[in-house]
Structure 1
Amino acid sequence: MKKLILVILLTLAMAPSGFAADFYVTPPNGAKSLSGDGSRDHPFTALEAALQSGTIKPGDTVYLTGGEYGKGLIRNVHFSAPVTIRPMEGKKAHFEFLVVYQKSRNLHIQGLGVWPSSFPVKRQLLVETGYDTSDIVFSDLDLRGGVDAGTYPGWGKPEWENRKVNGIMLRGPRGKILDSQFTGLDFAISTLADDAVVTGNIITGFSGDGIRSLGDRSVIRNNLIRDCIAMDQNHDDGIQSWSGGPKPGTGNLDRLTIEANIILEWTGPKDHPLRCVLQGIGLFDGTFSNLLIRNNLVVVSAYHGISVYGANRATISNNTVIHPLLPSGNRPWIMVNKRGNGTLSRDVTVANNLAMHYILSDIEGLFINRRNQVISYPARLFANPAAGDYRPIAGGPLSGAADPRYAPPTDLLGIARPLGSGPTLGAFEVDTKAISGE
């Protein structure tokens, strides 16, 4: 009994001094100073001032009561544990833009809508964080090139020029962008610092790159990137990275993971006049050390399906890289090449992939090239490629054909490998037994 009492007392001593609290903030409606006490009946009238007031503590939640919040600036707001900012249940909070900077730390910003209300746009970014921020998490955002961004397939070049705005740029370490929607933008997501996480996002209609990630130990996983628009001479990429240094490509980028993403060049009418020729995953000037690219579906018409220039200890496994207009000859390809300065790639594993072509050259050290199949006749291999179904035929020649030593434990959809006697080539796992009726 004494031991039990001692444990309880110690637990209480280590517990936080208070419980997490809820606060409320209305749209400013012209207010420049803080009023209200943050309660539901007397909400604060200015978000930044409320966060700086000292009333809000680590672990608290700030609810936005809904409406138009205008220009969002959050400066010099730092907490020892996350503070959540989100709309009230059933309410929507819209910002023209949102900037988090001046050493702000430990914020979780959730469920906001951010888009410009007037055109041509005057800012290049909808949401951004400063280099001196850290541990800023964004989730369930709705970022658009305008309130009507869902109509982007009908926009002409003038509309795209007037709405040329980027989605989000995270400059501080340990930033995250999760489960958010990006519609009708130029460059959708950019992360510049280390330990970034970009997962579960849907990018629809973009005229630049879908995702750029430039920091060490960053993770790009489970994102859908589709419908690229051709606006200028930029070589648009679904996912792009390069190493830093005094100049791009002169440093080393370590432990980048690109996993279980879907990149679709175009899903609309095939003859759309602004349809771009998209590159899939382009890592064009490394060095990229301890690189992992696996379980991605890349459906593009440019040559570069997955291309790495300057790999050092890299694994590229179980990806499906295919042309949307079948058949296509030798593109898109999976390529591993030397750096721009001539340094050879080193210690590379390329295994269990499906692509239209492979260029695996200028590699020294350990090079494992296993069970990589060229896609020559897609209709014989996939369930319904003409309709965008790139799952291998169950019991077909791709099922059970992968080398289990290099197959990931799950596939693009999270299905455990193997289904049957052995794992499947490419990003999707299927049973080694034919399904009745196929």
Structure 2
Amino acid sequence: MRTTLIAMAMAFLLPAYHVHAEDYYAIPGKGNTENPGTMSRPWGTLEQAAREGKLSKMRGGDRVLLGSGYHGHVKFLGDNKTMVVIEPIKGEKPYLGRLTITKGSNWTVRGLTISPSCGGKEYSRNVVTFAESGPSHDIVIEDCFVYTTKDTSKWGPKEWMSANSGILMGRHGENLTLRNNYVLNTRFGISLCASNSICEGNVVSDFSGDGIRITRDGITVQYNVIKNVYVGEEDGDKNHDDAIQCFLFNKGTGTVKDVVVRHNLIVNQEEEGRPYATIFQAIGFFDGPLVNFRVEGNVIGVKHWHGVSLYDAQNCTIINNVIFNPWGGRFTPWIMLGSKQNKAHGNTVTGNYAHKFNFKADQTVKKSDNKEASEKVFLESRRRLIDSINKRFEDRHPVAGRRRLKE
């Protein structure tokens, strides 16, 4: 009797989502929204389910499992007490034309292909947008393949400059995560506008603007691969391209705090001779003050002066980075502490390799063990870093099927 009472008490204390969690199914061509969403009587597309309000009725622990086929342009909102997951049925290949989570909390979207080329009306701006229209927290987008089109062989400067951007992590979010997404053939790759959030393990490949943009406090950018930039000033593009850029959201110049940029691999171009290939600044943070930044363990192959440049940096640390130009020529990338406002002070720069170093803007800088880079150091460091990234996130992307770096 006592054992039975204890079991009943434990069951009563369990969170409701453990008791009531359900799996719902959406299978294009085999269901409709009048169905209960079971495997035998599924909903139709995810777009239809979202439009009919099915996703707003989820409870913590529920899953929405998607069958192969086109699921439309999906837009929804909703707050969950615990995580609700949207992902493919095992072995299935669902794809969307666009994804927008206007506001909400505790959502994970995993393993989807999302591209305007998959279907639906043409649109501008971002392929994936979340947390841009209202308070949002604890949203995860992971393992997705986000792209405009796979074939850009007929693109010229106009097409590159007018292409959709990849993923926008919106201004009203906090504690958001972008993990292991492959973003391909976009204008801007990933824009991070939510505070205290993380961007890790993503690939941003083939873009014409900036790879990753940081615009809020408390953002961590780590273990990403950023590679292959197209169209520059010579092609009529006035954007000064950066692999990773930082500026204060909606203002440009202003204080940004507590940002971590570590263990990212930046490659200007994987292959020589691509049409409209150009150069970018690698880690170019020109619009501070920048307070309590940590730039650590990045490996950068770049054909530009700016390898790592922090302007008006305050109490920032630049440590154990490797910056090299393997293509040769006049560009000898540096690590620089620069200034536009004469506000640089209290920084530490140690254990780095680069062609040059310039710390004149900070008379109080603590500097040690910084050395001139060599091809050997660069190649060895690149191999160690890509091995480390692959160990965490695998060599080939689970949905795109593409390697992180061509070797």
TM-score strictly above 0.5: yes
Distance in 2 (alpha carbons) for counterparts of 1:165 and 1:94: 17
Q: Does 1:48 align with 2:50?
A: yes
Q: CA RMSD in A?
A: 2.9
Distance in 1 (alpha carbons) for counterparts of 2:366 and 2:72: 54
Segments of structure 1 that go 5 or more residues without pairing to the other structure are 394-409, 416-438
CA contact (8 A) 2:347 2:362 kept: yes
Q: What is the CA distance between 1:390 and its match in structure 2?
A: 4.0
Distance in 1 (alpha carbons) for counterparts of 2:110 and 2:186: 20
Distance in 2 (alpha carbons) for counterparts of 1:173 and 1:209: 22
Equivalence for 1:237? 242
Equivalence for 1:268? 271
Return the match for 1:142 from 138, 142, 145.
Answer: 145
Matches within 5 A, 1:349-368: 349-365=348-364, 367-368=365-366
Distance in 1 (alpha carbons) for counterparts of 2:321 and 2:239: 25
Matches within 5 A, 1:321-360: 321-326=323-328, 328=329, 331-338=332-339, 340=340, 342-360=341-359
Equivalence for 2:404? none
- Matched residue count: 375
Deviations 1:114-160 (A, max 9, x none): 111279953211010224132221001101112xx1x44x3441673
Distance in 1 (alpha carbons) for counterparts of 2:298 and 2:305: 16
Equivalence for 1:178? 179
Equivalence for 1:64? 66
Deviations 1:286-336 (A, max 9, x none): 12111100000111111111110111111100000011313x466211111
Deviations 1:356-402 (A, max 9, x none): 1111122154x210000123xx35x43xx6xxx24399xxxxxxxxx
Distance in 1 (alpha carbons) for counterparts of 2:36 and 2:73: 22
Deviations 1:209-254 (A, max 9, x none): 1111212111100001111111512111111111347x3212x211
CA contact (8 A) 1:121 1:163 kept: no
Distance in 1 (alpha carbons) for counterparts of 2:353 and 2:160: 37
Matches within 5 A, 1:257-336: 257-269=260-272, 271-326=273-328, 328=329, 331-336=332-337
CA contact (8 A) 2:55 2:76 kept: no
Q: What is the letter of the counterpart of residue 358 of structure 1?
A: F
Deviations 1:2-41 (A, max 9, x none): 8x9997665433212315221111238997xx31001001
Equivalence for 1:196? 197
Q: What is the CA distance between 1:414 and its match in structure 2?
A: 4.7
Distance in 2 (alpha carbons) for counterparts of 1:15 and 1:201: 36
Equivalence for 1:217? 218
CA contact (8 A) 1:121 1:164 kept: no
Equivalence for 2:397? none
Q: What is the letter of the counterpart of residue 181 of structure 1?
A: Y
Determine which structure has the larger helix proportion and give its number: 2
Q: More displaced, 123-132 or 135-144?
A: 123-132
Q: More displaced, 165-174 or 43-52?
A: 43-52
Distance in 2 (alpha carbons) for counterparts of 1:9 and 1:258: 49
CA contact (8 A) 1:44 1:50 kept: no
Equivalence for 1:431? none
CA contact (8 A) 2:24 2:42 kept: yes
Q: What is the letter of the counterpart of residue 143 of structure 2?
A: D
Q: Does 1:373 align with 2:371?
A: yes
Distance 1:62 1:347, change over 3 A: same
CA contact (8 A) 2:160 2:186 kept: no
Distance in 2 (alpha carbons) for counterparts of 1:168 and 1:279: 21
TM-score, normalisation: structure 2: 0.84
Equivalence for 2:89? 88
Equivalence for 1:160? 159
Equivalence for 1:111? 111
Equivalence for 1:391? 381
Max Rg structure: 1
Equivalence for 1:124? 125
Equivalence for 2:257? 254
Deviations 1:17-75 (A, max 9, x none): 315221111238997xx310010011123231565466531111100112111111113
Q: More displaced, 107-116 or 6-15?
A: 6-15
Q: Secondary structure at the match of 1:308?
A: strand
Distance 1:392 1:67, change over 3 A: closer
Q: What is the letter of the counterpart of residue 126 of structure 1?
A: V
Q: What is the CA distance between 1:173 and its match in structure 2?
A: 1.8
Q: What is the CA distance between 1:84 and its match in structure 2?
A: 0.2
Distance 1:104 1:28, change over 3 A: farther
Equivalence for 1:404? none
CA contact (8 A) 1:119 1:163 kept: no
Q: Secondary structure at the match of 2:40?
A: coil
Q: What is the CA distance between 1:260 and its match in structure 2?
A: 0.4
Q: More displaced, 77-86 or 356-365?
A: 356-365
Distance in 1 (alpha carbons) for counterparts of 2:185 and 2:56: 38
Distance in 1 (alpha carbons) for counterparts of 2:66 and 2:127: 19
Equivalent pairs: percent with the same residue?
25
Q: Secondary structure at the match of 2:76?
A: strand
Distance in 2 (alpha carbons) for counterparts of 1:180 and 1:368: 37
Distance in 1 (alpha carbons) for counterparts of 2:96 and 2:202: 20
CA contact (8 A) 1:139 1:178 kept: yes
Distance 1:39 1:237, change over 3 A: same
Segments of structure 2 that go 5 or more residues without pairing to the other structure are 390-407
